[in-house]
Structure 1
Amino acid sequence: MTERQYRIAGAADIGGTNTRVGLVQEDGKIIRMLRFPTPVTGTAGDIPLSIARAIHDIAGDIPLAGLGIAAAGPLDIRAGILDHPPNIPFDTVPIVVPLMEETHLPVIFRNDCRAAVLGEVCAGGASGYDTVVYITISTGIGGGVFTHGRVLTGRGGNAGEIGHFPVDSTYTFPCTCGLSGHWEGFASGRGIPVFFKEWCIAHNLPCTMTIASDILQLSITDPVYSGFLDALAQINGRGLSAVIVAYDPDCIILDGTVIQSHPDLLDQALLYTDRYLDLPDCKLSLLHGDAPLIGAAMAVFHPEMI
C-alpha cells in the first residue's frame, strides 16, 4: 500500500517583528518552515517580496496548491492590503497583488486570528465543534470566530477584534488603540505592565516591575501582590463572558505567549466568567503557536470555509 500523497500549500504569518514562511500539507503538518525579521526599514513592497523569495527558497520544484497569508490587522481583504498596521511602519502594505505576480500562485489573505481559528478547526483542538472562538493573549489580544462551516470575516476581514471589547470603567489608562477600558489594554503582554502600575498606585504599593512575565511571577510568589492576579482574573473573566454571550461557542481555544506561559490564568478567569449562557469547552491550543500559519494554508485547501 503506497503512502498517501498530500497536497501542499505555501503559507506565511506576518508579524510586527518576525515573519514565518512554511510549506503545509493539507493534513496540517508543517514540512518546512523558516523565520526572518519582517522588513521595516525599506519600502512596504519589501514585505511581500521577502515572502515570495522565501517561498521560492523552501519550495524549490514542489508544486503548490496556492499561497495563504496571515497577518495582524487591520487589513482590507478586498484590496489585499495591510491598512495602517500599528506594528509595521508603513501606512499600507500591498500583499495579494505583488505575491501573485512574484509567485504565479493564487493568494488568500486573512487576519492572523481568523486564519488561526481555521487552523484549529482543521488540524487542532477544535475539530468536530460547530462554533469555535480562538483567542490569542500575547503582545495583544485577538480573536477569530468559526461558525456553521465558515470563518466570520466581516466587511474587510476584521470581525472578531475581541481585544477591544470593553471590560472595565474603573481605570482610565488607554488601550493600544487610544481608547480606555479595553481587554487588550489590561491583559495583553503590553497591557499587563500598564495595568499593574495603575493597580499598584491605587493600592499604595511600590511598582518596580515592567515586564508582564515578571509581574505575573511576582503576583504568584509575593502575597502582597497576589491581589493583582485576582484583579487580572476579573478582567479576563469579563472578556470571556463577552465572547460567550457574543458568539455562543461550543469551544474556546486559547493561545498566545501570555496564556501559554501561565495556563493558570484560564482557571482563574473562569471563576469570574458569567454563567448567563452555558460555559463552553475552554482549552489551550496544542499547535505550539503555529495555528495562524497552518490556518493560512488551510484557507487554500478549504476556500469554502473562509
Structure 2
Amino acid sequence: MFLGNQYVIGIDIGATWTRIALARVDGSIASRHVFRTPREGDRYTIANTIISSIRREFSNYLDNVKAIGIGTIGPLDLTQGMVINSPNVAIRTFEVAKPILEEFKKPVVMANDCVTAVWGEKYFGLGRGYSNIVYITISTGIGGGIIVDDTLLLGKMGNAHEIGHIVVDTSGKMECGCGGKGHWEAYASGANIPRFAYRLIDEWNLTQNERESPVYRAYLNRELTSELIYTYAKKGDSLALRIINEVNKYNIAGFENVINSYDPEIITVGGSVALRNPELVVEPIVRGIENSKGVVTARPRIDVTPLGDDIVLIGALALALYPPPNLVKKLRYLESISIDL
C-alpha cells in the first residue's frame, strides 16, 4: 500500500523528447523534467541519461520513491525491458528497464507508449468507470492501446497494439514506412499525409479554384506538410478540405476495424494531429462511425483525451501506482533483483 509521503516516477521516452515526472500517490505531478532523447551513443546511453536526470532533479525524494513506470516507443522486448530496432530513434536498439532497476533498486514497470497511455486513461482520464477502453493516437504515426474486460492487451512481446498497420486499402496504393502496403498509417499519420496528398493531387483533375490554393502552390514547390494542409483546411480552403476528406475515409475505416475487433465502450483519441485539429479529425470520425454500416456492435463513445500531450507520462505514473498483473508477469528483468510489487 502506498502512503501519503510516498512518490512514484513516470518516464515517457519519445523519439524527440524524454519526459520524467515525480508524482504523489494520487497521481498529481509534483515536479517534471524534459530533455531531448539522445541521438548518439550506445545501447545504455538513453537509460544512463535518464538515471542522471532523476538523480539530479529528484535526489531529495528518492528514498520515498516506491516505483517507476516507463512508457516508451517500440517495438519492445518486454521480457528484457528493451526497445528493439525502433524505426524512430537514432539509437535503434537500447536498454531501458534493467539499468534503471539496478541503479535505484525500485520496481520498474515498462510498456509501449500507447499501452501505457490507455492505462493512464483508465485511472486518470475518461476511461474511469469503464472496463473496455481503446486509446488511439494520430500523430507522426498511428498507434493504439487496448483494455478488454479490465485486462491490458499485450501479446507475446508486448506489441499487440500496432493498429496503425491495419490494412485499410487492399489495392495497396500507399506504402507504409514498415514496408507493408495499404496500412492505415500510410494514409492518415502526420508523417504520411503529405505523401498521400502528393499522390492525390497527381491523380485529381483540379478546379481552377483548387489550382489557386496555397496548398497547390506548396504541392508544386514540394513543400507540403500536414500542418500546412490542416491550417488551410481550417480556413475553408477547398483543396485542403478535399485532401482531409480523403484522409478521413481511412481514419473511419481504421476505427471501424478497431471497434469490430475489440468492442470498446469508449475510445479516446490523442496525438498531435488529432489534438490540434479535433474538428477536422475527431468530429468527422464520430460522424462516420455513427453513419457506418460496417460496425457490427454498439457504437462506443469517441472523444478527445483530456490528458493531452501528457497522456503517456500520466500512463507511466499509472503503471507505477497500479501495475497490471499480466504485464508484471512478462517482465523477467524484475527477477534480476529482489523486489516485490
* TM bucket normalised to smaller: over 0.9
Counterparts of 2:239 and 2:59, CA distance in 1: 58
The alignment status of 1:271 with 2:287, answered yes or no, reads yes
Structure 2 counterpart of 1:14: 13
Counterparts of 1:270 and 1:291, CA distance in 2: 21
Structure 2 counterpart of 1:248: 263
Check conservation: 1:22, 1:55, Cα contact below 8 A. Answer: no
Question: 1:34: how far off?
Answer: 0.9
1:101-122 alpha-carbon deviations (Å, 9 max, x no partner): 2222221111000000010110
1:45-77 alpha-carbon deviations (Å, 9 max, x no partner): 110011111111222231111111111110110
Check conservation: 1:113, 1:143, Cα contact below 8 A. Answer: yes
Counterparts of 1:224 and 1:87, CA distance in 2: 30
Residue 139 of structure 1 aligns to a residue whose secondary structure is coil
Q: Which amino acid aligns with 1:97?
A: K
Question: 1:204: how far off?
Answer: 3.8
What are the equivalent positions in structure 2 for 1:1-306 lying under 5 Å apart?
Answer: 5=4, 7-62=6-61, 63-170=64-171, 172-205=173-206, 206=216, 207-208=219-220, 209-220=223-234, 221-264=236-279, 265-273=281-289, 274=292, 275-304=295-324, 306=327
Counterparts of 1:31 and 1:288, CA distance in 2: 18
CA separation of 1:200/1:124 partners in 2, compared to 1, >3 Å: closer, same or farther?
A: same
Check conservation: 2:286, 2:302, Cα contact below 8 A. Answer: no
Instruction: Name the count of aligned residue pairs.
Output: 303
Unpaired runs of 5+ in structure 2?
207-215, 328-341
The alignment's C-alpha RMSD in Å is: 1.7
**Of 250-259 and 61-70, the range deviating more from structure 2:** 61-70
Structure with greater proportional helix content: 2
Counterparts of 1:135 and 1:89, CA distance in 2: 25
* 4+ residue runs over 3 A deviation: none
1:59-97 alpha-carbon deviations (Å, 9 max, x no partner): 223111111111111011001110001111234201122
Question: 1:170: how far off?
Answer: 4.2
Structure 1 counterpart of 2:211: none
Residue 61 of structure 1 aligns to a residue whose secondary structure is helix
Q: TM-score, normalised by structure 2?
A: 0.85
Q: Which amino acid aligns with 1:87?
A: N
Check conservation: 2:10, 2:320, Cα contact below 8 A. Answer: no
Counterparts of 1:261 and 1:74, CA distance in 2: 26
Residue 70 of structure 1 aligns to a residue whose secondary structure is strand
Structure 1 counterpart of 2:331: none
Check conservation: 2:70, 2:319, Cα contact below 8 A. Answer: no
Residue 314 of structure 2 aligns to a residue whose secondary structure is helix
CA separation of 1:224/1:296 partners in 2, compared to 1, >3 Å: closer, same or farther?
A: closer
Q: Which amino acid aligns with 2:60?
A: D
Residue 288 of structure 2 aligns to a residue whose secondary structure is coil
CA separation of 1:178/1:17 partners in 2, compared to 1, >3 Å: closer, same or farther?
A: same
Check conservation: 1:186, 1:235, Cα contact below 8 A. Answer: yes
Q: Which amino acid aligns with 2:227?
A: S
Counterparts of 1:88 and 1:304, CA distance in 2: 27
